[in-house]
Structure 1
Amino acid sequence: MSITHKLPYEWQVGLRYTRAGKRSSRNSFISFISLASVAGIALGVAALIVVLSVMNGFQKEVTSRMLSVLAHVEVFDARGAMPDWRASAAQALRHPEVRAAAPFIDAQSMLLVDGVMKPALLRGVDPGLEGKVSSIAQQMTAGSFDSLRPGSFNVVLGRALATSLGVEVGDRVTLLIANGEALGAAATSGQNPLPRTRALTVSGIFQAGHFEFDSTLALANVEDVQTAAGVSAPAGLRLRLADLQEAPRVALELRSMLPEELYLRDWTKVNAVWFAAVQSQKRMMFIILTMIVAVAAFNLVSTLVMTVKDKQADIAILRTLGSSPRSIMKIFMVQGTLVGLLGAGLGVLLGVTVALNVDVIVPFIERVLGVHFLSQEVYLISEMPSELVWNDVAWIGGVAVLLSFLATIYPSWSASRTRPAEALRYE
């Protein structure tokens, strides 16, 4: 005896209607509509899985590249400089989550080469300590990060910044930077201070893979930047943690350990607008694509209504044999739910397959069409990433099946109200 013969008769009839034969053109049309519903649900589910996977991958990849340059936590002095940064670093390192600390100073500047001028964020770092809080030393594509010795006035540029200036390792650039001491006097006098100039030698080029940093960041020794800007000490500390996800909590705990004049900022605050925008986009894409799945799922309504009309005689015979309205309703709910399960299953299979192979599929399409989907200047990265989250897959599949089930309620209820005498009158 087959498995289907062991099922309740409602399930057996529902399964039979799902794979309706082609005894008439009407049955064939109903079967076609049913297959269209399956295909619509499958495509909607697959699209939702692929889009959310790409957005998850985009967020993870950009975050990873950002954190290769950014510190997990930054400590600033409200006075504008931190002359006792070593003591503050020692205090911060007492926290069990803090793995490394390094001084830094950031200064907005301009770099000038043969009439070409580009804005740059000049960051003063200690090359011996910076490698413990960022990955720039491992991202060098030319030159050496260790070349940033005190008094050398060497500079390491991002690849895009070096390209825009037309310089390579060994070339000279002119630095224009605001005079730190003059800025305070200008604030009271209302006069604009003249910028200080300094000749720098390009001793290295790095590529973080994040266009914002590759196109604007320039690194020099912290003492050289202090000299160029006319300030007496680093601006603060950059901290590396054991777990970057704990940065908000650790920053809050460090706040009570460090002197009152210091304030802290974790990496989630540095680009808070960007992270909020990505999360908002993910929610909106989920809602929009779920509507596509809903449209496909509610195509089942028309399919089941046509099936109910076509099976009036069958329903009447089942009623006269003793089937209850509830059993009749169950038959058509089984049919619609099975269509939803089939569509959701095929959609999950297709979506997971595409999401796991985006790195192969997208380059192939780009080569065939001769286009490039991601502009690095706009999207910060140039390759289509994908991060499949199985929790998302479960939610998507569950929503598709639930919508399919909801779509069966009215047609099934309509079938249960069929009156046998009226249904058989013209048979």
Structure 2
Amino acid sequence: MFRPLSVYIGLRYTGARARNSFISVITLISALGLMLGVAVLITVLSVMNGFDRELQTRILGMVTHLSVHGREPVQDWQALAERLDHHDEIEAVSPFVQLEGMLTHRGEVAGALIHGIEPEAERKVSIVGDYMAQGELESLQPGEFGMVIGYGLARRLDLNLGDKVTLVLPEATISPAGVMPRFKRFTITGIFRVRAEVDSLYAYVNVEDAAKLARVAGTVQGLRLRLKDLFSAPSIGWKLQRELGPGYYTSDWTRTHGNLFQAIKMEKTMMTLLLSFIVAVAAFNIISSQVMLVTEKRGNIAVLRTLGASPGAIMRIFMVQGTLIGVVGTLLGTLLGVLLATNISNLAEWIEKTFNTRLFDAYFVNYLPSELQWGDVTTIVSIALFISFAATLYPSWRASRVQPAEALRYE
């Protein structure tokens, strides 16, 4: 009849109180270190996944995936849109006119990027219509000179719905009083908030109003495209540029935000590598505690050998004990890591409110995002268990090499 003797004895050794309390302390530290390493890895990777998600959904949801610019103002953007409509990679098209200027209100001044849009078409290429805190994007009607502004700009300029704001364009005009900048007053008809840097930079007006300000009335600068796969934007851009000819050129999101995306990917990889050293340190603790335990149990090992236990059985006994430490530490770390990863956004928000501080205003999102991916959890758990198992091999091999006569000589 098969009896897992090695497992039974290994579990007994784990549960028994060691004569040397120092060994028990090292064993406890090993399990706690492994737990901490796994928990930190899961939490940090979840935060990095959250930043990655926010970049793709919020930042790249507001930023153009791909844009087609005319080298001259585009007279009939609908005809150009029809030429692009047969491409399966393109989901939606929207015309645009882009201006740069300063917004002023009650003595406060802020720079802004003004997007002239067609509201109905813009909803198909951008997420701005889904993040309206006040008002509606459709309030931007031609000739009414309404403006939808970001929450950050509105807060900085102390603007609310119905307020008047002055747009100052850098282009100067000559008047009897001399060279004067161009001014135009707009009415705030909406405020959007996506909780990203665009809240403090973007403002939207109707495309016809923007074209008048740019002195290209009846035309647009180009078309914004939403793609099914935003990562294919560079290749699709080259393809469209060859198809449309020299009168047009394309620009994609990788030229404006590609470095940020690559930085997050690289930072995630480096953080994983660096934090893995916590797990490695815990593995060294397992090795040291097991080596000391083997030294303490030399007499027991000798007795087992004289009773017929093979070197392989002795090795399995100590492998069971070391692996059990790794399993317990890994499981506790996984539970702690999942708990932290799913609640760290709320925890960071509570810290900000409690201490009246803003921890993330310097980043491209102004809160701490987190997205737990079970694939990452599985990888971390597998690596931790493998390292824990590998850490038991050398001490177990040492135990299997104990000679009964030599060990019992001084007993």
TM-score, normalised via structure 2 length: 0.89
Other structure's SS at 2:226 match = strand
The code of the aligned residue for 1:263 comes to: Y
Equivalent position of 2:274 in the other structure: 288
CA drift at 1:272:
0.6
CA gap of 1:7–1:258, structure 2 versus 1, over 3 A, is farther
Instruction: Tell me if the contact between 1:176 and 1:198 (Cα under 8 Å) persists in the aligned partners.
Output: yes
Report if the CA contact (8 A) 1:196-1:229 is conserved.
Answer: no
Decide whether the 8 Å contact of 1:34 with 1:303 is kept in 2: yes
Structure 1 residue 314: Cα displacement:
1.5
Q: Does 1:34 align with 2:27?
A: yes
Aligned-CA RMSD value = 2.8
Does 2:89 correspond to 1:104? no
What's 2:120 paired with? Answer: 128
Structure whose residues are more often strand by fraction: 2
Tell me if structure 2 keeps the 8 A contact 1:355–1:386.
Answer: yes
Matches within 5 A, 1:83-122: 83-122=75-114
Q: Look up the match of 1:164.
A: 156
8 Å contact from structure 1 (residues 157, 205) kept in 2: yes
TM-superposition CA deviations, 1:197-231 (whole Å, max 9, x none): 12222232322323421111121222222222234
SS of equivalent to 2:114: strand
Structure 1 segment 395-410 matched on structure 2, within 5 A: 395-410=379-394
The 1-side partners of 2:198 and 2:14 are apart by 57
Counterpart position of 1:205: 190
C-alpha displacement at 1:173, in angstroms?
2.8
SS of residue matched to 1:156: strand
- Measure how far apart 1:180 and its partner are: 10
2:40 corresponds in structure 1 to 47
Opposite residue 373 of structure 2, the aligned amino acid is: V
> Counterparts in 2 of 1:356-371, with a 5 A limit?
356-364=342-350, 369-371=354-356
Residue 148 of structure 1 corresponds to which residue in structure 2? Answer: 140
Go from structure 1 to structure 2 and tell me whether the alpha carbon gap of 1:338 and 1:255 turns closer, same or farther (over 3 Å shift): farther
1:345 matches 2:338: no
Other structure's SS at 2:125 match: coil
Q: Would you say the 8 A contact 1:206–1:214 is kept in 2? A: no
Query: 1 CA distance for matches of 2:364 and 2:189?
Result: 22
CA distance in 2, matches of 1:381, 1:317: 64
Cα deviation per residue 1:373-410 (whole Å; 9 max; x = unaligned)? Answer: 633x3123343322111111111111111221222222
- Equivalent runs, 1:61-80 vs 2, <5 Å: 61-77=54-70, 79=71
Counterparts of 2:404 and 2:173, CA distance in 1: 96
Structure 1 counterpart of 2:91, which letter?
R
Q: 1:129: how far off? A: 1.9
Q: Which moved more, 1:248-257 or 1:168-177?
A: 248-257
The 1:260–1:16 alpha-carbon spacing in structure 2 relative to 1, beyond 3 Å, is farther
Partner of 1:238: 224
Aligned positions, number: 407
Query: Is the CA contact (8 Å cut-off) linking 1:178 and 1:195 kept in structure 2?
Result: no
Structure 2 CA distance, aligned partners of 1:252 and 1:208?
33
2:205 is matched with which residue?
220
Aligned to 2:290: 304
Moved more, 355-364 or 111-120: 355-364
What does 1:262-277 correspond to in 2, within 5 Å? 262-277=248-263
Q: Deviations over 1:286-314 (max 9, x none)?
A: 11211111111210111101110111112
Once the two structures are overlaid, the 10-residue window that deviates more, 282-291 or 324-333, is 324-333
Q: Which residue of 1 aligns with 2:368?
A: 384
Counterpart of 1:17 (choices 9, 13, 17) is 13
Change (3 A) 1:241 1:216: same
- Superposed displacement of residue 136, structure 1: 2.2
- The 3-state SS of whatever aligns with 2:148 is strand
In the alignment, is the contact (CA less than 8 A) between 1:53 and 1:387 conserved in 2? yes
Query: How far apart are the structure 2 equivalents of 1:231 and 1:346?
Result: 65
Deviations 1:99-150 (A, max 9, x none): 3211112222122334332211111112232222223233333344333233
